[in-house]
Structure 1
Amino acid sequence: MKFAVIFVGFALLGLVIFVYCEKPAVVKIGAVFTHDSVIGRGAKTAMEMAVEDINSDPNILNGTELKMIMEDIGCNVFLGSLKAFQVIEGEVVAIVGPQSSEIAQIISHIANGLKVPVISYAATNPTLSSLQFPYFLRTTPSDSNQMAAIADIIDYYEWKEIIAIFVDNDYGRNGISVLGNELAKKMSKISYKLPLCPQYNLSEISDILCKSKSLGPRVYVVHIDPDPRLKFFKVVKKLDMMSTNYVWLATDWLSSTLDSFKRDENYLEILHGIVTIRPHIPNTSKKKAFFSRWRKKSTQSNITAYGLFAYDTVWLVALSIDKFLKERGAITFYSSHKLQLGNIAGFDGGELLLKFMSKTNFTGLTGPIQFDADRSRMGIDYEIINVVQGTILKVGYWSNETGLSVQSPESLKGSKVSSYIQLQKLNNITWPGGQVEKPRGWVIATTERPLRIGIPKRVIFDEFVTELNDIQSVEGYCIDLFLEVLKMVPYDIPFRFEPFGDGLKNPNYDDLVRMVAYDVFDVAVGDIAIVANRLEIVDFTQPFAATGLVVLAPIRNSTSSGWVFIKPFTLEMWLAIAASFVIIGVVIWMLEHRVNDDFRGPPRRQLQTMFLFSFSTLFKGNNESTVSTLGRIVMIVWLFLLLVITSSYTASLSSILTVRQLSTGITGIESLISSGLPIGYQVGSFAYNYMINSLNIHPSRLVCLASLEEYESAL
């Protein structure tokens, strides 16, 4: 009897194990998404094709049929929650979708409680992480990737401030928050954030766009939901904001919209000059074969990159289920009294299936499928596209590894990292208004008045600044320099020149500077000297010319004469030189005539030798040579003195013949101060106060000169 009981027990246990390990005939997965949407229309067909391909492949699931339960949730969070419960009630092992980040977040809460993995192919909200939602993963990259690409484009064109327009939900707010962080790394920023409600209308779009026109930045980043009617940019076009100096950058919602419907050049005309990005899917043979099948199956719409992600998502789930069945054998569900949800049961193998999903590594239509620590898709690059005259042009690529480049990321995989910097560029882009040059990205707000630039209305020495009264324009060296500097400013600055002065004499520059300090002028441009009293009330740019005082004095024209050669030295100097020749001759004779035959002979010959010896050293070598030590020492000293004398004479004579002489004898400020002579100064110049306050010159010595004629008569 004991053995019979044991036998029956083992039989029942074997039966339970057999039932538990038996592979099911059908495995169900759910799909909750918005069927009639830009992404949903293509995703529905793509997932149906994926299920067909999986069930027809004998190498996967080993005879078990994959069945997908699809539910349309519209764009309603509450309806999405109800549909998720309905799908789970059908004993699904995983849920594919939804495409909305908000609905994905709600369904992920439900999935956590029931241990059913949720795999989204379009929810890009960067805050959807595995820490908060452990049963959530996605086969699409989060918005962190595309925001890094947008930030690189902004940095490439050196724009420092932008305006962000976004849909006011988790998807929009969190995406723009990531963009702000990426821009901060590149020393740029989002100056203004303009939210749109999720059900925005034309009036709301018009209101925020009109508000943005009163702001300075002209670089816009638009991050909203896909819009098949493009009503946002229709309003932009209507408000004449698709003109020169505007920059419109759109995230991949726009590329998804453009890829989802048949190309219509008239429809694309309103997007002329817009730049957007889209996921880069390498053009493999597998992708070409899929598109060939797609064209035969669907003629109503085109497929977007997210449709391809949806196809790969179903394959990911199927491959993971295949591994699950090989290890565990059966699929079971559990019910808990704590849930109190009637027929809704949790999935026993949810954790194991999720593990297989996160570690599954295969190559799908969209390339290698791998996940990071947050279970977000890795390795997705982006294309930079430009809409030009109804045509979509690809102007470059972006990769997290190589940045911006005109070459596809897959072609750069073998390149050296050091060469990426050289390749980081884009092809030429046509901006709104047909502008080819890089827009400055900033203008003075339309509510602001133009800058008032004060310029001195000079009468004399007007090469620096002058007003042409006949054509009401301004020119001069300072004006040319100012206009060249403006070209280097990365935004347009409206301004107007306002002449300062009565036109009868040069204005007082201290008064002009005070006009800036008193906010009569915003800026002053001209030959304005930087002095201490002016620095106390205004700021100056870096000086572009050296400042200082120059003494202007009359000259006397020197007339050449036959005796000009004696002018370098005074009479006393000439007499001293002559005496030196005689003394040197006598000294040399005294030292040499006892030992040197050249200095001997009749008295007349010795006298000639004595006087000619020292004179002849100026022009040629002497026939007589010194032999005594003292004689040679004296000759060395004499030759050095001759070198000094001849050099001084040559320099003085050259100066006399070439340089005009001042008639007053004034050589600088010191001699000017001590001379007691009247000193003229240019009207309006800082020199008047400087000479009184710094040089302590009495005002009675200062004479104001207001015209060239007064300069001429004063000198």
Structure 2
Amino acid sequence: MAYYQKHLSFVAFLLLIVNLHGEHSMAKEVVPVGVVLDLNSTVGGVAKRCMSMALSDFYAVNDDYNTRLALLTMDSGNEVIAVASAALDLMKNEEVHAIIGPQTSAQAKFVIELGRKAQVPIISFSVTSPSLSPAQNPFFIRTSQDDSAEVKAIAAIVKAYGWREIVLICEDTDYGNGLIPYLMDAFEEFGTRVPYKSVIPPSSNNNKIAKEIKNLNETNARIFLVHMTASLGSKLFVLANNAGMMREGYAWIITTGLSALVDRLDPKVKESMQGVLGLRPYIPRSKQLEDFKRRWKRNLTSSKPNVKITGLNLFGLRAYDTAWALAMAVEKAGIMHSGFLKKNASKSNVDLAALGISETGQTLLDTILTTEFQGLSGKFHLIKGQLEPSAFEILNLIGKTQRIIGYWTEQTGLSQELDDIDEVAYSISKVGLKQPIWPGDTTNEPAKLRIGVPVTKGFDEFLKVEWDPRTDKPIISGFSHDVFLAVLEALPFPLPYEFIPFMNKDRQSAGTYDELIYQIKLQKYDAVVGDTTIVADRSLYVDFTLPYSESGVSMVVLVKDEEKNNFWIFLKPLSLDLWLTTGAAFVFTGLVIWVLEHRVNSEFRGPLDQQLGMIFWFSFSTLVFAHRERMVNNWSRFVMIIWFFVVLILTQSYTASLASMLTIQRLQPTFFDVKEIKRNGYFVGYQNHSFVKGLLIKQLNFNESQLKPYSTPEEYHEALFIGINNGGVAAIFDEIPYIKLFLAKYSSKYTMVGPTYKTDGFGFDCSCVSSGLPTRIFFSPTHFEGNP
């Protein structure tokens, strides 16, 4: 067959037995076992040699055993059909009791089905896809951990560094696709988004991979998880490095499939993987392992002195343990002179219908599942048909070397040392790991949130940018800055960030607030923190948080006081109409009393001029109860009761109003509404670089020539105080938070008048694209009510 080669024929079995055990060994039961591997691959070549050494070591220790495994190795290549044909040939024609292999998940699917039909255990040390489960395939044994075992370790790293967005890059095979659902579920538990999944076929050439890398770069993603085999992963990292995606600000994580073979990668590939983090199962150190490594190196050097030494890898060690476990199980199961129940009558090597059923398959399967020992790769203990999960080590690729920065176990989480069981130190935090070297040869954490901040002259109560004289780095302070830090403290995850002032080379503002916010769309900033107002036009290209300040635009004007120094101020408590009505009431009341008392009371009689004087005098004298005339008519007395009540109300109201005018300064705005200002063509001011300029022109219909920009509260004060006749302005238009700050400083001279033009208040602006960190932080406005 073109796809495979028989390395040991029946004659070779006998020669091997004679060489190993001499004449005495001829009495041993030879148990044929099939091996299906791609011998030209990194995994297959090493695994074949490791299994051969395993059997030599095993029978050297257990010379008294009655059974001897004979490995029938088929070089199947990497084609699925060739693998299936090789496995079928081994079962049908060689009647093997078990098959070790194949290497990949795609190849294993059909072979596992053949094993179920023939009841021949299929034992794989390299098939790790969770889609192939021993629980669903009774004659499938996995002597390794499936890929889902490392999902929690990956999630712990992602959570520890606070990455809220991560891009998955997988190969388009059963191996690559099988892990995606597990990763998605794990990230969803603590809120990490996967905005993009890149699935690359293993047959892709460099052009196709480069095109996909370009697409990844355009997403502005910074955090990547790569789940690929070594052959495809090598191409990916070289091309990613060429595309500038292995520099500072990026983070890459690789899974076991690539991490376990990183030693075998080409030096150029290793150089491209500078700063990558990787996970692989932890292999405990042991005397047995060290001795095997020495013999491995010595055997290769002596047999092929001119050939570069092939390094051991995780799969080779597990192949060694697999062969050891199978030899132990065959002896324990007592397999002697067994074969297939239904013999094959067909002469075809690939006749599936003629496949028999192994007599010892179920017994051998049960025995392997209960086999336990301490192997080269760690404890060999199968749970539900696959290797018991163990600890993972986290490695950091630095140039051509590897540095272990920590470990992860189910019980303790992340840690710097595996034997430390302090749960506090092992909490899911980056403190649990040693400092890694990130891409770009830096210790600065990747994917920091780039936060733009405005550089302004005035109103630095909201945001102030200063410069440290020693480090020459910006120092940010102010209300908006404090709100941002308060929210960070409330977040359940860390959020690395850096403030970047929006300035020119002279450290002055580089433009308007609109231009500052537009930098998010240009991907120069991931967010903007400052006194930026939520405006509909800006929402077209950025996301805003909920507002954290009072909203609206109003105007502030100068006030005048004309009451306190007025000579006629005593007339101000009552209006003219009330004064006239009160005077008429005095005269009318006096006239009524005179009419009622004139006939019966002599005090109300006399000359005409005297009677007229009494009519006017009597009512006024009652204000201070100074009247001397005695009333005898009951109706007069009734009228006086009503009059006294009216007088009491008038005097009390007048006294209170006059006292208020004399003690409290009566301030009146110089202008009451916008229409008066526009009608007279007066100048108005606004805050420089603010969106208010556009509101004045588009919504209030001011001519741009009437507008004057100002930056500080002091400039506001000067422009309003000198007035419209001396080059000043009639009013200043600004947002209510700024106006309140201005009035807090100059409250006695100015006031806020006119309608409030509605806005949505201050909010933080965020990018809509992925950067590996959270791009939306929401605030409740009720948390920050009141004056800043």
- TM range, normalised to the smaller chain? 0.5 to 0.7
Aligned counterpart in structure 2 of residue 90 of structure 1, from 90, 94, 119? 94
Aligned counterpart in structure 2 of residue 387 of structure 1, from 392, 397, 412? 397
Contact 2:256 2:279 in 1 (8 A): yes
Aligned counterpart in structure 2 of residue 113 of structure 1, from 117, 120, 124? 117
Q: Deviations over 1:491-524 (max 9, x none)?
A: 78999664279xxxxxxxxxx9998223388679
Q: Deviations over 1:317-367 (max 9, x none)?
A: 111111111xx6542321168996587532111111101111111111112
Contact 2:271 2:399 in 1 (8 A): yes
Contact 2:463 2:477 in 1 (8 A): yes
Residue 327 of structure 2 is matched in structure 1 by: 318
Counterpart-to-counterpart distance in 1, 2:449 and 2:545: 24
User: Greater relative contact order (Cα 8 A, min sep 6): structure 1 or 2?
Assistant: 2
Q: Deviations over 1:392-440 (max 9, x none)?
A: 11111122222211112xx24xx36566438971100111112212112
Residue 581 of structure 1 is matched in structure 2 by: none
The alignment status of 1:345 with 2:356, answered yes or no, reads yes
Contact 1:96 1:118 in 2 (8 A): yes
Residue 421 of structure 1 is matched in structure 2 by: 427
1:131-210 to 2 correspondences below 5 Å: 131-210=135-214
Q: Deviations over 1:426-464 (max 9, x none)?
A: 1001111122121126789xxxxxx9x9x7988x76776
1:22-421 to 2 correspondences below 5 Å: 25-58=29-62, 62-88=65-91, 89-227=93-231, 230-260=234-264, 264=267, 268-299=270-301, 300-325=309-334, 329-335=336-342, 341=352, 344-373=355-384, 375-408=385-418, 411-412=419-420, 415=421, 420-421=426-427
Displacement of 1:539 in angstroms is 6.5
When residues 479 and 185 of structure 1 are mapped into structure 2, their CA distance, relative to the original with a 3 A threshold, is closer
* TM-score (structure 2 length as normaliser): 0.58
When residues 267 and 350 of structure 1 are mapped into structure 2, their CA distance, relative to the original with a 3 A threshold, is same
* TM-score (structure 1 length as normaliser): 0.64
What do you get for the CA RMSD once the two structures are aligned? Answer: 4.5
Q: Number of residues paired by the alignment?
A: 520
When residues 146 and 708 of structure 1 are mapped into structure 2, their CA distance, relative to the original with a 3 A threshold, is same
When residues 68 and 391 of structure 1 are mapped into structure 2, their CA distance, relative to the original with a 3 A threshold, is same
Counterpart-to-counterpart distance in 1, 2:318 and 2:369: 16
Counterpart-to-counterpart distance in 2, 1:49 and 1:58: 14
State which drifts further: 131-140 or 334-343. Answer: 334-343
Contact 2:156 2:428 in 1 (8 A): no
Q: Secondary structure at the match of 2:179?
A: helix
Contact 2:149 2:389 in 1 (8 A): no
Counterpart-to-counterpart distance in 1, 2:78 and 2:662: 95
When residues 500 and 364 of structure 1 are mapped into structure 2, their CA distance, relative to the original with a 3 A threshold, is closer
Residue 542 of structure 1 is matched in structure 2 by: 548
Contact 1:396 1:404 in 2 (8 A): yes
Displacement of 1:91 in angstroms is 1.7
1:444-483 to 2 correspondences below 5 Å: 477=478
Counterpart-to-counterpart distance in 2, 1:486 and 1:139: 48
Contact 1:97 1:118 in 2 (8 A): yes
1:492-503 to 2 correspondences below 5 Å: 498-499=511-512
The alignment status of 1:518 with 2:537, answered yes or no, reads yes
Letter paired with 2:381: Q
Contact 2:405 2:433 in 1 (8 A): yes
Counterpart-to-counterpart distance in 2, 1:24 and 1:362: 24
Counterpart-to-counterpart distance in 2, 1:311 and 1:330: 26
Residue 611 of structure 2 is matched in structure 1 by: none
Counterpart-to-counterpart distance in 1, 2:32 and 2:425: 49
Q: Deviations over 1:635-675 (max 9, x none)?
A: xxxxxxxxxxxxxxxxxxxxxxxxxxx998548xxxx6xx6
Displacement of 1:481 in angstroms is 6.5
When residues 289 and 211 of structure 1 are mapped into structure 2, their CA distance, relative to the original with a 3 A threshold, is same
Q: Secondary structure at the match of 1:395?
A: strand
- In structure 1, runs of 5+ residues without a counterpart are 1-21, 445-450, 502-511, 525-537, 556-661, 689-703
Q: Deviations over 1:596-623 (max 9, x none)?
A: xxxxxxxxxxxxxxxxxxxxxxxxxxxx
Displacement of 1:707 in angstroms is 3.8
Q: Secondary structure at the match of 2:396?
A: strand
When residues 242 and 297 of structure 1 are mapped into structure 2, their CA distance, relative to the original with a 3 A threshold, is same
Counterpart-to-counterpart distance in 2, 1:192 and 1:214: 11
Displacement of 1:75 in angstroms is 0.9
When residues 477 and 306 of structure 1 are mapped into structure 2, their CA distance, relative to the original with a 3 A threshold, is same
Displacement of 1:284 in angstroms is 0.7
Letter paired with 1:396: G
When residues 438 and 50 of structure 1 are mapped into structure 2, their CA distance, relative to the original with a 3 A threshold, is same
When residues 233 and 332 of structure 1 are mapped into structure 2, their CA distance, relative to the original with a 3 A threshold, is same
Q: Deviations over 1:547-575 (max 9, x none)?
A: 999999999xxxxxxxxxxxxxxxxxxxx
Contact 1:246 1:441 in 2 (8 A): no
